[in-house]
Amino acid sequence: MTGLRLCLLCLAPHRLRILAEVQAVSPPLELEDILLGGLPLTAAVVRGIAAAAPRLSILDLHSYHLSYSTGLPDSLPYSPTLSGVQGLLRLAAPHLQQLVLRDTSGMSGASELLAELHGLAPVLLRCSRLESLDLYSTETYAATVSFYGGVLSTLAQLPAMRSLEMGVPLAPGTGRTLDVPPGLTQLTRLVIEAAIDLDAAVPALARMRGLAELRLPSHQLRPSHMRQLAALTALTQLKVQGIGAADVLSPEGTAELGSLPAPAPQPLVPLPALLQDLFIWPDGWGTLFAALRPVVLRHLTVHDASLTLYDVDALVRHLPLLERLSGLELHPKRGGLVGEWDSELALRAALLVLCAEAPSLADVSFWLGGDADEPLLEAVLQAVDWLSQELPTLRDGPPYLRVE
C-alpha cells in the first residue's frame, strides 16, 4: 500500500499514540504525504516519522516555531540536532517534492543575528527534488525579510523548483520590502503576499519566461510594469490588486445608461499574449478596461467591484471587445450600488446588453457572500431573474447567470 496521507493536528488528543501505531504496522505503510500541527517534533518523533515515511514526498507543517527544539514554544531553544522542523527536513530531504510551512514563527527571532541559526536555507539545499514551497510567516519583524531573502536565494539553486508561494505580514513602518532575486527563472507559479518594491521586482519577474501563474494580490501594477511583464509569453493567469492607467474620473451627477461620454483615449497596456485568467481589484471599470485590449482572455474575476452608472456603462462598452471571454465573475463591494439612481434597472440594462453582445460569454457569476447588503442582494437577484427570462429571446445559447 503506497501513497497514503497521515494528518496529525493539534486537536488530536492521542496523536503520539497514533504515530506509534502507524510505525508498528507491518508491512510498513510507506507514507508519502504527512500533515502535522501541534505534534512535538522530538528526536524520537522525528525518527519515527522518518521510519514510517522513508520516501516522504509531501510535508505540510502548520503553526510551528523554528527557534524551539521540538517546534513548539514549551520546549528548549533550538540547537542543530535531529529534532524540530529542521531535523525533520534533514531526514525528509532526499525525496521531498512539496513543502508547506503555514503560520510559521521563529524564522529570525527579534534580531537578524538569529536568522542564520534558525534559517531554512542550509536545509533546503539538501532538498534537491523540491518542486513546490509554500512559506507563510506570522511574524512582523523586519528581520524576517532577511530570512526570506536567504530562502529565495537558496531556491534559485534547486533545479526542480517550479512553484513558490510566500507571505510576510510586515508591520507598518518597518521600511523593509522583500527582494525578488533574478535567479528564480525556473518558476512556473509564483504567489507573493508581502511588501515588494515593484520597480525593482518586475525586471526579475520578467525573466521568469516559463511563468504560467503570477499572483501579487496586494499590489497594483502600472503600465510600465505591464510592458515588462508582456515578455512572459507562457503566462495564462494573473492576479493583482489593479492595473493602473491614466485616471478616468466618473462624471458628477446622474445620467442614463449609454449617454456618458467615452473616456479619453488611453494607451493600450500590453498583456501577456496567452493570458486567459485575470483576477483583479479595480479602482474603476473605466480604468481597468481602458488598459485591456482583446487577447485570449477567457475568464475575468473582479473583486470589490463597484456598480455605479459609469461603471456599468464601461462594462458594456468594453467587455464585448474581449472576444474569447467565456466567464465573468463579479464580487461587488459593500454599498456597491448607488442610491441616487435606479440601480436595479441600470444593472438589468447593462447585463442585458453585455450578455447579448459578448460573443463567447457563457457564464456570469455574482459572488455576494453571506453578509451582502440587502439592497445589493435584492437588486442582483431580481436582475438575474428578469434576465433569465429575457435573454433567450435575444440570443441562442445565452450565458448562464447565477448568484453565489
The pLDDT, as a whole number, for residue 256 is 42
Asked if the model's pLDDT at residue 246 lies above 70, the reply is no
User: What pLDDT, on the 0 to 100 scale, is given for residue 15?
Assistant: 59
What span, in angstroms and rounded, lies between the C-alpha atoms of 284 and 314?
Answer: 9
Q: Give residue-wise pLDDT tens across range 379-391.
A: 778 878 888 888 8
Q: Does the pLDDT at position 39 exceed 80?
A: yes
The model's pTM: 0.81
What is the Cα–Cα distance from 272 to 262, expressed in whole angstroms? 26
Where in the chain are the domains? Answer: 238-404
Stated length of the chain: 404
Whether the per-residue pLDDT at 30 is higher than 80: the answer is: no
Q: What is the pLDDT of residue 127?
A: 94
Name, in order, each residue with C-beta under 8 angstroms of 157's C-beta and a sequence gap of 6 or more: 125, 183
Structure confidence at residue 117 (pLDDT): 40
Give pLDDT, residue 251.
42
Closest to 350 (Cα-Cα) out of 292, 293, 310 = 310
Closest CA to 291 of 266, 322, 327: 266
Contact status, residue 229 vs residue 253, Cβ threshold 8 Å? no
Residue with cell 531526514: 91
Q: How sure is the predictor about 266, in pLDDT bands with cuts at 50, 70 and 90?
A: low
Cα separation, 159 vs 166, in Å, equals: 19
